Chains A and B, each alone.
Chain A
Amino acid sequence: MAVSERSTKEGLLSVLDDVEVLSRELIEMLAISRNQKLPQPGEESQILELLVQRDGEFQELMKVAQEQGKVHQEMQLLEKEVEKRDSDIQQLQKQLKEAEHILATAVYQAKEKLKSIEKARKGSISSEEIIKYAHRISASNAVCAPLTWVPGDPRRPYPTDLEMRGGLLGQMSNLPTSGVNGHLPGDALAAGRLPDVLTPQYLWQSSDMSMNMLPPNHSNHFMLEPPGHNKENEDDVEAMSTDSSSSSSDSD
């Protein structure tokens, strides 16, 4: 069993060693036999026979080695093909990983979107209600000044002090009014010099009811003004009114 497992190379080298030894012995023996008689006359022929045998083995092994060389070439080609397949498989693996990543991202985003849809569905508000609120907010000129607004116009996008006091809460608490329309004394409107188109019209006071809804201590003509401050304060209001974003009402 050990002999059959021996590689061809080992066999060849072993036979070569034998050939070397046998040929050396033969030559030495022949050299000696020329001068003197050999103690064993048949020894030469024995060595010769062994030499011939070893030569035959060597030739056989060389044929086997040639065949193995061809098989080795075929195996090298197959191994190259295996390498190419390996690289193809690796390439496919990379692509599959990429696809998996893309799909995972898409699935995650889709789940997030579904969650948002569900959340929106739970807290849904009717569009009519939203439009109603939008109308209410925009009708009071709270988001944009009216087209006829000019600097000096006492109208503001918020309820002024006077209007708050003139409302139901103010009436309930019977708070004294200070100033006119929530503006500082000497206001242009308080001076009664603005035209009717600039009189304040707010959502909670319709144009028809604005006069009726005012508390009894309010004059319809808004003639109240503190003495001696008219012109100066008008200038102040004019200056302040030019900046539409500033608040000119003072809470007393």
Chain B
Amino acid sequence: MDKDSQDVHQELNKLKTKIQEAREQISTMPGISMSPEQQQQQLQNVREQVHTKNKLLQKYRSLCMIDIPKP
């Protein structure tokens, strides 16, 4: 009986250690600090930012800054 309880304790400790390792690995996983919906929203925002800035740059580069007034 004592040996059984020792085995049980041993196995329980192993289980505890494994679960702790799993917790640590979960903590280091990237991108899960928000819900999937929040992440999708953020992704959409970043895509819009890129699109807007690309358009702005294109506009400034193609813009003729100097307008010669007609006589």
B35 with A20: CB separation less than 8 A: no
| Contact partners of A31 in chain B: CB under 8 A | 4-5, 8
Assess whether A8 is in contact with B65, with CB atoms less than 8 Å apart: no
Quote the shortest CB–CB distance from A199 to chain B (angstroms).
66
Query: How many chain A residues touch B (Cβ–Cβ < 8 Å)?
Result: 39
- Assess whether A89 is interfacial by the CB under 8 Å rule: yes
Min C-beta distance of A27 to chain B, whole Å: 6
A13-B26, A72-B39, A82-B50 known; A23-B15 Cβ under 8 A = yes
Among A62-70, A118-126, A162-170, A207-215, the one that faces the other chain is A62-70
A4 within 8 A of B: yes
Question: A12 to nearest B CB, angstroms?
Answer: 5
The smallest beta-carbon distance between A94 and chain B, in angstroms, is 12
* Interchain CA distance A8-B30 in the complex, whole Å: 11
Given A31-B4, A69-B31, A13 and B23 touching (CB < 8 A)? yes
Q: Is A37 an interface residue (CB 8 A)?
A: no
Q: Is the interface of B mostly helix, strand, loop or mixed?
A: helix
Q: Is there an interface contact between B36 and A8, defined as CB atoms closer than 8 Å?
A: yes
Would A75 and B46 be within 8 Å (CB), given that A89-B53, A92-B57 are in contact? yes
Quick one: which of A9, A64, A73 contacts B26, CB cutoff 8 A?
Answer: A9
Nearest-CB distance from B48 to chain A (Å)? 10
B19 touches A20 (CB 8 A): yes
Known pairs A31-B8, A75-B46, A89-B53; list 18 more (Cβ under 8 Å): A4-B35, A7-B32, A9-B32, A9-B33, A24-B15, A28-B8, A31-B4, A31-B5, A64-B36, A65-B32, A68-B36, A75-B31, A78-B47, A81-B50, A82-B46, A82-B49, A85-B57, A86-B53
